[in-house]
């Protein structure tokens, strides 16, 4: 019989095993019932004594080990852990996971003296200070993938607030002549909202709570792929509905708008990308339009969480994802703010343990304060 005790000392698991063997006897078949009873009782008594000895030994060992562990810990080791040097060392050696150093494996610097202020424009996505705030890339040329001029039919302006005081804006032009159905759907999503159910469900007395899914009401910067691309959408229609109406809780009869279907989707899917995802500042949507981003396994409530994306660099992988470009950032100031957003620290979560999986929502509170659209004449 074996008893295993688990110790957790200073964050490191120790496993202590104690083994003993039951006394063996071949006399049970040769003695009477009363002898059997006496032998069994004696056996139990012996095992109880063994268990008592084991427990006493364990307590002595635990007390001694604990005192030695805490008493003999060098001060330099504690200081090294506090400033993140252990994480840096294991990253250099490439053995963070083997040493169970999760912070090092993830690449986080958040939590020690080497962590920079996430609201500082010079603070990079890895928690290290940069020499200067990120510079915006060049404004994209208004051309298609063949180098031909393309017309800007609408201008979108997204206004942001970062943290408590920082503000910024992005002006984005849309290629309405080149992909009219896709642009029309995006404008509906940004302002009025998309309705995919019966409009009767929006009226009082129908027995349900419902509303169009609108970026202007519940939209946010949902995911940052550091210095690569930004993802925008409505994370939860139910939450947006409640907040938009000042409710303390989501109505039990709330019904979200499902993904679009029918002729509208067919028309959007036939429109080709105007250009490749080869520079920063391009607005991209899924091939079948808004509502078809993400994995496709999201619930109706989260169907519009990945509505559109804006590149912060050339991302050829987006061409292989069957996405299409329908607009672009319009000026240097907007490109500079795009670079700022793309360099924000992110909430990685456990997925940050995997190499390259450093995307997540912004660590700094980032809000979209207003959305407006104007038609170019």
Give the integer Cα–Cα distance in Å for 324 and 269: 10
The reported pLDDT for the residue numbered 266 is 96
Instruction: Answer whether residue 28 shows pLDDT above 60.
Output: no
Instruction: Answer whether residue 39 shows pLDDT above 80.
Output: no
Mean pLDDT is highest, among 74-78, 100-104, 335-339, 360-364, for: 335-339
Higher pLDDT, 354 or 307: 307
The reported pLDDT for the residue numbered 159 is 98
Instruction: Answer whether residue 113 shows pLDDT above 60.
Output: no
Q: Which of 152, 188, 190 is nearest to 370 (CA)?
A: 190
Q: Which band of pLDDT confidence, cut at 50, 70 and 90, is reported for residue 9?
A: very low
Handedness of CA 336, 339, 344, 346 (dihedral sign): positive
Instruction: Answer whether residue 129 shows pLDDT above 90.
Output: no
Instruction: Answer whether residue 125 shows pLDDT above 90.
Output: no
In three-state secondary structure terms, 143 is: strand
Higher pLDDT, 285 or 77: 285
The average pLDDT across 125-152 equals: 91
Q: Which of 369, 326, 289 is nearest to 178 (CA)?
A: 326
The reported pLDDT for the residue numbered 358 is 79
The reported pLDDT for the residue numbered 82 is 33
Rounded to 10°, the helix 85-93/75-83 angle is 80
Mean pLDDT is highest, among 40-44, 65-69, 207-211, 228-232, for: 228-232
The average pLDDT across 295-324 equals: 95
The reported pLDDT for the residue numbered 123 is 87
Q: Which of 213, 222, 258 is nearest to 240 (CA)?
A: 213
The average pLDDT across 273-287 equals: 97
Q: How many CB atoms lie within 10 A of CB 27?
A: 9
Instruction: Answer whether residue 353 shows pLDDT above 60.
Output: no
The reported pLDDT for the residue numbered 62 is 41
Full-model pTM = 0.70
The reported pLDDT for the residue numbered 90 is 63
Range from 58-72, 121-135, 226-240, 333-347 carrying the lowest mean pLDDT? 58-72
Range from 129-133, 151-155, 167-171, 300-304 carrying the lowest mean pLDDT? 129-133
369 and 159 in contact (C-beta within 8 Å)? yes
In tens, the pLDDT along 160-179 reads 999 999 999 999 999 999 99
The reported pLDDT for the residue numbered 94 is 63
Q: Which band of pLDDT confidence, cut at 50, 70 and 90, is reported for residue 219?
A: very high
The average pLDDT across 202-217 equals: 86
Q: Whole-number mean pLDDT of the chain? A: 78
Instruction: Answer whether residue 76 shows pLDDT above 50.
Output: no
């Amino acid at each position: 019989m074996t008893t295993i005790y688990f110790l957790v000392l200073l964050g490191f698991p120790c496993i202590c095993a104690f083994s003993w063997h039951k006394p063996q006897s071949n006399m049970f078949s040769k003695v009477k019932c009363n002898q059997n009873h006496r032998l069994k009782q004696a056996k139990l008594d012996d095992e109880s004594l063994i268990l008592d000895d084991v427990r006493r030994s364990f307590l002595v060992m635990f007390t001694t080990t604990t005192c030695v562990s805490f008493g003999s810990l060098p001060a330099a080791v504690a200081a090294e852990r506090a400033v993140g040097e252990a994480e840096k060392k294991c990253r250099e050696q490439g053995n963070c996971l083997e040493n169970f150093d999760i912070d090092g494996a993830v690449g986080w610097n958040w939590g020690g003296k080497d962590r920079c202020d996430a609201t500082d424009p010079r603070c990079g996505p890895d928690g290290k200070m940069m020499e200067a705030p990120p510079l915006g890339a060049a404004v994209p040329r208004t051309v298609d993938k063949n180098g031909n001029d393309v017309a800007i039919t609408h201008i979108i302006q997204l206004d942001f607030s970062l943290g408590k005081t920082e503000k910024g804006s992005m002006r984005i032009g849309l290629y309405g002549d080149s992909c009219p159905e896709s642009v029309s759907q995006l404008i509906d999503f940004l302002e009025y909202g998309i309705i995919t159910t019966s409009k009767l469900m929006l009226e009082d007395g129908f027995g349900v709570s419902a509303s169009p899914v609108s970026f202007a009401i519940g939209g946010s910067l949902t995911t940052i792929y550091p210095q690569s691309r930004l993802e925008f959408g409505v994370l939860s229609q139910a939450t947006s509905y409640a907040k938009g109406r000042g409710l303390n809780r989501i109505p039990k009869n709330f019904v979200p708008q499902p993904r679009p279907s029918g002729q509208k989707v067919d028309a959007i899917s036939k429109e080709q990308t105007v250009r490749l995802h080869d520079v920063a500042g391009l607005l991209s949507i899924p091939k079948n339009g808004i509502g078809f981003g993400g994995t496709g396994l999201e619930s109706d409530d989260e169907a519009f969480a990945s509505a559109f994306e804006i590149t912060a660099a050339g991302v050829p992988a987006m061409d292989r994802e069957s996405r299409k470009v329908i607009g672009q950032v319009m000026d240097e100031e907007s490109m500079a703010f795009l670079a700022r957003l793309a360099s924000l620290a992110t909430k990685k979560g456990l997925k940050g343990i995997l190499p390259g999986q450093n995307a997540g929502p912004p660590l700094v509170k980032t809000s979209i304060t207003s959305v407006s659209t104007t038609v170019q004449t």
